[in-house]
Amino acid sequence: MIHQHLLRRGAFLLCVLTCCSFLISQALEESAQTVSFCTLSRQPDKYKDSLVTLRVRVKSFRHGTSISGPTCPKRGIGLIANQSAVQTTSVSHFYQFLQEHRLSKIPIFATITGRLVADSDSGFVKRDVVFKLESVSEVSEGDQTGKH
């Protein structure tokens, strides 16, 4: 009888712990907010360290990569990869694609997800903030002036 009581109590505690850990993990998962590049670049403090998804034009240079929006092309932000993201196939293929098309005159567009973070000396050009890439999708070449 005591043995059954301990088993029930143990099963109950296991159930409670499982539910709590599930709820905590759900609360910690952050979903990305979709914003336009122009909005992000005009209000960097509002979006700093928040997970966001953007449709951007990507330019690769000898000393780094930058992103801009079709409706505000003069506002560029440096792009760096989150170190754990470089391990993913999509991000590594994306950087390989950029390297192969670095000298091309055809614009490259991509949907990217990541965070606007303070620049910690990410390269040749010093900037206040950079976009730390966590994932990439919908990479394409060509003119997409109407989209952001």
CATH number of the domain that residue 128 is part of: 2.40.50.140
Q: How confident is the model at residue 38 (pLDDT cuts 50, 70, 90)?
A: very high
Same-domain status, 62 and 41: yes
Q: Which residues span the domain enclosing 101?
A: 33-141
User: CA 118, CA 143: separation in Å to the nearest integer?
Assistant: 30
- More confident position, 11 or 104: 104
Res 4: pLDDT: 55
Q: Give strand ranges (E) for the chain.
A: 33-34, 51-61, 64-69, 72-81, 108-118, 129-141
> Is 94 part of a structural domain of the chain?
yes
* Number of domains observed in the structure of the chain: 2
Q: Residue 27 pLDDT more than 70?
A: no
